[in-house]
Amino acid sequence: MNAAPNSSPPESASMAPYAVRGRWLAGIALAAAIVASAVGWIHPVIALPVIAILGTLIAVGYRVTAANGVAARTQALSVDSANAAAPAAAIVQAIPEAALLVDGQNRLVAGNVAAAALFGRLRTGEAISLTTRNPQILEALAKAASGETQNFEIEERVPVERSLDAHVAPIVFGHERPNLFLLVFRDRTQERRIEKMRVDFVANASHELRTPLASLSGFIDTLQGPAKDDPAAREKFLGIMGDQARRMARLIDDLMSLSRIELSLHLQPQTAIDLTGVADTACDLLAPLAKEQGVTIDIKKETARLDVRGDRDELLRVAENLIENALKYGASGKRVEVTLREEGDDALLSVRDFGPGIAPEHLPRLTERFYRVDVERSRTQGGTGLGLALVKHILARHRGRLTIESVPGEGAVFTARIPRAH
Ligand code: ADP
């Protein structure tokens, strides 16, 4: 096998044994010259220049050998550093997290694509402070110069909110002090956002349940105390208590449906379902509410059948939620239109009302859990604030989506779009 050029010993290192052997011979000759001159075997006039020449040879030889040693070491180090830079840069590219390589003078040696996405343009060869001005990173680099790895968290508010886990590791190549530093950043923004959503969700759900519960226990106290012997009050309070208990049951039902749909989000239902039949059923189920609200429902079908791959109960839930909202929040328009049609490869179910509509700032947030334009209005209508979140999740499971359009004062149109079954 051929040895790689870098693997052969440096020339000065291979010459070293000869230099050592020469020094020994010169030393023995010098000692012999001194002894010979002392015992009178050779004349001091000859012995003295011989001793001087041999002494000079030894001294020069030593210095040459020493200088060669230093040169060999220096070469070895520069070979290490030069060799290290290229593979290190390649390794940095292969790291899945954002990573930067910085040298002992705080200059950027390399950075990967993820780091460029995080910090913008990477200026290799220039001071790291041109890539990031974050004082925590610069401080960690200074501390890591002592050889200790630094771990810390970065929370940034501007220009965008983000959370990073940062890790600065010193790398030593032959030197006593680190001559390279590897900086790795793990973007935790999404994780923190999900965690915050989870905490907010638990807080909201508890709050939503606590309100009717507090009202229930308040009425129980009243019925056991001041209203004990008042049949009229008892009748009235029991009615309210029934409403509160139903509200809690609805909330728990919606929460359970939401978690069940979330669990099966990746499983697209496969049964062929006719969306026009689903819309008819929803209208029939909501006919009493429409009557109560004084609203007429017009159903328009552009095709006799509209087949999608789906779960009938879930699609019925979508149609019911959209029509019920139109009846509750758009009642002032006195009319609700339900339209079924095809558009390209999609089946569309649109529910239009002619009520007050929705201001544009609310539109992107309507499908968030517990988001309501008017909390009191929703509660008095028996809303849980989870209806549109459920609709959005069901449609996602059906590989469809919900669009909402509204002109304040003219009403709103909610459209469920689902791929047609062929
Ligand atoms: P809720 O249980 O409160 O009805 P939803 O998730 O179904 O919860 O709806 C969220 C909010 O969206 C409602 O509280 C209401 O403010 C608003 N909204 C929904 N549909 C309409 C509509 N057709 N017209 C006006 N506002 C609507």
Measured in angstroms, how far is the CA atom of residue 302 from the centroid of ligand 1? 27
Is the Cβ atom of 215 under 6 angstroms away from ligand 1? no
pLDDT of amino acid 422: 79
Measured in angstroms, how far is the CA atom of residue 325 from the centroid of ligand 1? 6
92 in Cβ contact with 99 (< 8 Å): yes
Is the Cβ atom of 253 under 6 angstroms away from ligand 1? no
**Which 3 state secondary structure label does DSSP give 345?**
coil
* Alpha carbon distance 75, 69 (integer Å): 10
Measured in angstroms, how far is the CA atom of residue 422 from the centroid of ligand 1? 33
- Minimal-distance CA residue to ligand 1 atom 4: 383
Alpha helices in 145-188 (DSSP H): none
pLDDT of amino acid 175: 66
Reported as type and span, the H/E element at residue 267 is: none
**Which 3 state secondary structure label does DSSP give 334?**
coil
* Alpha carbon distance 355, 264 (integer Å): 35
Residue 338, strand partner residues: 299, 351
Q: At what angle do helices 44-94 and 11-38 cross, to 10 degrees?
A: 160
Is the Cβ atom of 30 under 6 angstroms away from ligand 1? no
- 401-407, strands of its sheet edge to edge: 296-301, 335-343, 346-353, 411-419, 401-407
pLDDT tens digits in sequence order for the chain, 422 residues long: 333 333 333 333 333 343 444 444 444 444 444 444 444 444 444 444 444 444 433 443 433 333 333 333 323 333 344 555 677 788 899 999 999 999 999 999 999 999 999 989 898 899 999 999 899 999 999 999 999 999 999 998 877 888 999 999 998 877 678 889 999 999 999 999 999 989 999 999 999 999 999 999 999 999 999 889 999 999 999 999 999 999 999 999 999 999 999 999 999 999 999 999 999 999 999 999 999 999 999 999 999 999 999 999 999 999 999 999 999 999 999 999 999 999 999 999 999 999 999 999 999 999 999 999 998 888 888 889 999 999 999 999 999 999 999 999 999 999 999 999 97
Measured in angstroms, how far is the CA atom of residue 329 from the centroid of ligand 1? 7
Is the Cβ atom of 150 under 6 angstroms away from ligand 1? no
* Alpha carbon distance 320, 328 (integer Å): 12
* Alpha carbon distance 247, 251 (integer Å): 6
Reported as type and span, the H/E element at residue 3 is: none
Output the CA torsion 258→264→269→273 (10° steps): -10
Is the Cβ atom of 411 under 6 angstroms away from ligand 1? no
pLDDT of amino acid 36: 47
Measured in angstroms, how far is the CA atom of residue 78 from the centroid of ligand 1? 70
pLDDT of amino acid 376: 87
Ligand 1 probe mutation, 372, 384, 393, most atoms within 8 A of CB: 372
Is the Cβ atom of 350 under 6 angstroms away from ligand 1? no
Look-up: residue for tokens 């699609």? 315
Is the Cβ atom of 333 under 6 angstroms away from ligand 1? no
> Using a CB cutoff of 8 Å and minimum separation of 24, what contacts does 378-382 make?
379/247, 381/328, 381/329, 382/246, 382/247, 382/250
Is the Cβ atom of 374 under 6 angstroms away from ligand 1? yes
- Minimal-distance CA residue to ligand 1 atom 19: 325
pLDDT of amino acid 360: 96
Q: At what angle do helices 275-293 and 312-329 cross, to 10 degrees?
A: 30
Using the atom order of ligand 1, give the atom closest to the CA of residue 389. Answer: 6
The DSSP 8-state label assigned to residue 331 in this structure reads G
pLDDT of amino acid 85: 66
Report the b/e string of 360-389 with b at 16+ CB within 10 A.
eeeeeebbbbbbbeeeeebbebebbbbbbb
